[in-house]
């Protein structure tokens, strides 16, 4: 099974383009520097609410990433555009990812 991080957050609509532009660098930082990072999907729920679904190899990988926070420039830029975090949840998949 795979650990899933589900984060719902708010970004003002006028920052949406900047958020999308910052996303590739954030993902590159995760791929290069976060053990257990598998993939991520960003979903726009409304003009200012977003859902980030991130797949991790284990709960420990997710916990370590949270502990490290925005310790790389691409991650920091993406996080700086977020106005507020609404919720963060952790779960596990019941089927293989990437299908």
Helix segments in the chain, DSSP class H: 16-33, 59-68, 73-80
pLDDT for 99 equals 45
pLDDT digits (tens, 9 = 90+) for 22-76: 999 999 999 999 999 999 999 999 999 999 999 999 999 999 999 999 999 999 9
- Strand 84-92, strand 37-44: pairing: unpaired
> Residue 39 forms beta bridges with which residues?
55
Domain architecture of the chain: domains with CATH:
3-91 (3.30.70.100)
pLDDT surpasses 80 at 96: no
Q: How many other C-beta atoms are found inside a 10 Å radius of the C-beta of residue 86?
A: 12
Q: Is the pLDDT of residue 98 over 60?
A: no
pLDDT given for residue 40 in this prediction = 98
Q: How does residue 86 score in pLDDT terms, banded at 50, 70 and 90?
A: very high
Separation between Cα atoms, residue 77 and residue 99, nearest integer Å: 30
């Amino acid at each position: 099974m795979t650990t899933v991080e589900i984060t719902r957050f708010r970004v003002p609509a006028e920052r949406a383009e900047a958020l999308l532009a910052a996303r590739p660098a954030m993902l590159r930082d995760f791929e290069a520097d976060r053990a257990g990072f598998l993939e991520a999907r960003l979903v726009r729920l409304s003009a200012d609410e977003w859902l980030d679904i991130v797949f991790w190899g284990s709960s420990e990988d997710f916990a370590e990433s949270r502990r490290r926070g925005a310790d790389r420039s691409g991650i920091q830029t993406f996080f700086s555009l977020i106005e507020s975090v609404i919720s963060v949840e952790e779960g596990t998949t019941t089927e293989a990812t990437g299908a």
